[in-house]
Amino acid sequence: MNVKIEGMMCEGCAKRVRQALASVPGVESSKICVAEGLALIQGSPSENAVREAIEGIGYEVLGIEG
């Protein structure tokens, strides 16, 4: 699953997003690319749970693919 995220500016942001995603059921691992504004998620979480986790810490989800 690829998630386009707006608002990440640094590795601190990436760490916050990784931590939020780690609490989502079905997320096995995640890789965050701040420069591209992407989270690459392995596993089978629900899109709604991913969106809620990311938006719950102050970032905007622009789109989810996969």
Range of the domain at 37: 2-65
Cβ burial, residue 64 (10 Å; 0-12/13-18/19+) = middle
Give the pair of three-digit tokens for residue 47.
Answer: 């899109």
Give the pair of three-digit tokens for residue 28.
Answer: 């096995």
The model carries a pTM of 0.94
Mean pLDDT of 1-27: 97
pLDDT band at 16 (very low <50, low <70, confident <90, very high): very high
Could you report the per-residue pLDDT of 19-61, keeping only the tens digit for each? 999 999 999 999 999 999 999 999 999 999 999 999 999 999 9
Total number of domains constituting the chain? 1
CATH number of the domain where residue 26 is located: 3.30.70.100
